[in-house]
Structure 1
């Protein structure tokens, strides 16, 4: 596995983190820099439209419950819901926790900044998707970055559209299907064991999930849009409502949480300790990376859904699309962050693991064949006692070696390396050494009785809607590459992939997903920049009071 995923991890770490191996090449990943830079560029070019037209766009979302034109397959509301089904997912639960863990509370501020500029990207790409969409001989609407690359940039850019489609297809299979199915399986196994004391076979979960997905996607985009239009608003609304209850319970702590976010974002708290630059950079890096992962702005997935909207106005659908980014990041991610930052409880972390990480950062290397997880399991690791009993002597020897090298290791950390009962007390779940979604789960669990089930239930619905949303993205990529005939076979292949995701370990699939997401984003961002003049023309024409909301002419020949 290391031979397969080792090079993939290196590439993924460079794309998203800017480091190649152990060397930091860039302060943050090149994809994050390009995405944020393109967002800034488009925000400037469209005159800060996402800010100026925010409230009118909300009205357009509400009006979009009904068709706004004859062309298209689903209502603008259903198109937004389908796009949100792909956007709202594990990133809103696990991604937020990871951002805070890696970059501190300040990472949330930079997620907000990323979302604001991401709204400009969403507006641009979705406007282009409607303008350059096609209707095939079967009356089916096809659209997305591959079509505005082909029809907007000309045939000589067809190779760029192919790269985008290959990235979309692979990303759909990995992150849009298998990883989501794997997350549902883990949640079902944990809930079945904790609540009912049952051991559910994974193949049974796979069959049930596959059947549910098949029942939705077999009807194509109209069925997907109909289900998403009903499930996604309820799903998102219920999650926000529960989070609001938690915040009302912890209302006195909410102002402090906002102050901590702002203070940490600019290193105000770290200034005393002289680590301001590092802390701010970590917050920016984590916030941008997790924000982009969550809302997918600029990646090119959401415009595929918006291209199917029944609308005669590309600009109007672009404004609806930018609201999706706001809902995903500014609302849902913020609610998750505030729950994590305000809820306090009896949380723990391993002092030995903290010390081991200090040693590694100082240049010490673990014994050959050993891993950090086995030598220094976290406070919430499964089988922790057995691991410490087996590897305690080696763990103690490693920390003592660090002490000999001049690294300050306290006695509690040394004791914790061989005694599982020795742990550090912390106030908040994000200060523990639990992983991603487990942090959010423990925060809700400490908030009110039964709260630990909020995340598994939300995760099921978030992941399920992501699976059905991404099935359409993959289907559109296959249609572009192979033709209409491949649509129905792809739906059956999709069910097989979903089933495989329930019975196979996720492993390095996240790394493959990171690379395939980049394969989508780079071609899309090139197209957005190249077609920025078209976006500006639509933007200005739509603001012209003599034109109102025009039907944009889509018949002009593409550039050659």
Structure 2
């Protein structure tokens, strides 16, 4: 079964999907007048709460939406995903992660603007957002089959199996194995069940509790992780420029690991970027669609900060740590263990514990947010009165992720993410003229407002 999952993942992440994600994102980047660059300053003002409207429709503030979205993206995709990219595609894969991030900013702007523009209501009459509602409300009922495809894939793909798998590995290697307390598969089961209980305490409280916890955890985990990274880079400062050049050179030579297969390096970078920042996959629009705002463009501007923070900043720092410490040449392809080696070598004695805490917080915060995504997909397909059943299914799969091999888990997530991307990107491209028109109107109004 595992080999079939791996084969399907490799097949679906071929040229058509790569063109849809990167080509579609580049189209939106140009069509929007390079909104990630010209709208960045205004987006920072919005995040600061300058334009918050407490009377607007929605469940959470825009800042909480961004924190929840980042909690799902600034996580193990940055620790394990980057290491996997380097381990399987060489340093050049990081360059293509950068490219994917810049076009991903435009993609997130369009998809999250549409999430507010075309919000729908679930069976209980509660306002909801996300690609499934964008398709149904924006494109029409005849396209509803795309919403169904997205939600079915979302129920399966937005599970915390990867996070559970990698957190289990770190706990075993750092905490249990040195004390002779790692008993193999039995230990995996114990850790998996413990994680399941911790996650249950948060996610059964709904999006308000998830957003509250995420908005507190995200700043803490990013600050702590950054401190460790900066110390390692400072100790190896002289090597940093060479590493940047190595990334760029390898992006076009493809000689690292894959023997000249430049196209495969590009695909590896795009896959890891999609897993890291989720631009074009459709997850972020679901949480941003719950924001308390009546300004679609404003929410899109906030959402586009996600890929920048996640991939351009955090992923790059992780990649540099792995490269300056030299561990990337070891041949290790288990993502979190490669990053663990880098921290251990860069900060002897304490590095592995810093990474352990970071992985713990990253993994748990991601698990909290992912449950909300899958819950919304289940809600759309089966109704609000049955949506809570999904949480129990979600919690059980945390244990499954803890006891399954990394290669199968990663391929499963990659494959289902690819399925989710097709409806999300097709709807965003189809409705892109609506976003561009709304953007022009928004900035025209803001210009008048600033003059008053």
**CA-atom RMSD in angstroms:** 2.5
Q: Which residue of 2 aligns with 1:433?
A: 331
The answer as to whether partners of 1:14 and 1:30 remain within 8 angstroms in 2 is no
User: Structure 1 546/230 Cα, relative in aligned 2: closer, same or farther at 3 Å?
Assistant: closer
- Residues 271-300 of structure 1 show CA distances to partners (whole Å, capped at 9, x for unaligned) of xx9x99936445433322222221110000
User: 2:318 corresponds to which residue?
Assistant: 336
Cα separation, partners in 2 of 1:50 and 1:179, compared to 1, 3 Å: same
Cα deviation per residue 1:464-518 (whole Å; 9 max; x = unaligned)? Answer: 1121111011110011001110122222332222233334555623322222111
CA deviation profile, 1:420-440 (whole Å, cap 9, x unmatched): xxxxxxxx1111111222221
User: 3-state SS of the aligned residue for 2:280?
Assistant: coil
Kept in 1, the 8 Å contact 2:132–2:150? The answer is yes
1:133 maps to 119
**Cα distance change of structure 1 residues 307 and 64 upon mapping to structure 2, 3 Å threshold:** farther
- Give the structure with higher Rg (CA): 1
Q: Which residue of the partner structure matches residue 439 of structure 2?
A: 539
2:115–2:130 CA contact under 8 A, matched in 1:
yes
Q: Which residue of 1 aligns with 2:343?
A: 444
Equivalent position SS for 2:181:
coil
Residues 67 and 231 of structure 1: CA distance in aligned 2, closer, same or farther (over 3 Å)? farther
Residue in 1 that maps onto 2:167: 184
Q: Which runs of 5+ in 2 are unaligned?
A: none
Q: How far apart are residue 96 of structure 1 and its match? A: 1.4
1:247-258 map, 5 Å: 247-258=233-244
Counterpart in 2 of 1:70? Answer: 56
Deviation at 1:195, TM superposition (A): 4.9
The offset of 1:163, in angstroms, is: 0.5
Is the contact between residue 67 and residue 310 of structure 1 (CA under 8 Å) also seen in structure 2?
yes
Question: Displacement, 1:149?
Answer: 0.3
**Partner residue of 1:169 out of 150, 155, 170:** 155
335 and 65 in structure 1: CA distance in 2 versus 1, 3 angstrom threshold: farther
- Name the TM-score, length of structure 2 as normaliser: 0.91
CA contact (8 A) 2:170 2:337 kept: no
**CA distance in structure 2 between the partners assigned to 1:285 and 1:503 by the alignment:** 28
Which has the higher mean CA deviation after the structures are superposed, 442-451 or 176-185? 176-185
Number of matched pairs: 444
Q: 1:46 aligns to what?
A: 32
* Distance verdict in 2 for CA 1:65–1:94, change over 3 Å: farther
* Cα distance between partner residues in 1 of 2:446 and 2:169: 56
Aligned to 2:424: 524
Provide closer, same or farther for how the CA distance between residues 255 and 190 of structure 1 changes in structure 2, counting only shifts above 3 A.
same
1:460 to 360, 363, 376: 360
Does the alignment pair 1:31 with 2:23? no
Could you tell me which of 169, 192, 196 is aligned with 1:210?
196
The 5-angstrom pairing of residues 275-294 of structure 1 reads 278=260, 280-294=262-276
Q: Which has the higher helix share?
A: 2
Query: Is the counterpart of residue 236 in structure 1 residue 222 in structure 2?
Result: yes
Q: Which residue of 2 aligns with 1:492?
A: 392
1:247-326 to 2 correspondences below 5 Å: 247-267=233-253, 278=260, 280-326=262-308
Q: Which runs of 5+ in 1 are unaligned?
A: 19-28, 344-427, 550-560
CA distance in 2, matches of 1:137, 1:13: 37
Q: Is the 8 Å Cα contact of residues 68 and 76 (structure 1) preserved in structure 2?
A: no
1:58-98 alpha-carbon deviations (Å, 9 max, x no partner): 22222279656521111111101111122123221222122
CA contact (8 A) 1:135 1:141 kept: yes
SS at match of 2:293: coil
CA contact (8 A) 1:69 1:312 kept: no
Q: Distance in 1 between matches of 2:94 and 2:54?
A: 36
Deviations for 1:111-140, whole angstroms, at most 9, x for unmatched residues?
A: 111100000000000000011113457563
Contact residue 122 and residue 379 of structure 2 kept, 8 A: no
Residues 3 and 408 in structure 2, CA contact (< 8 A), matched pair in contact too: no
Structure scoring higher RCO (CA < 8 A, sep ≥ 6) equals: 2
Note closer, same or farther for the CA distance 1:85–1:64 as it changes in structure 2 (3 Å cut). Answer: farther
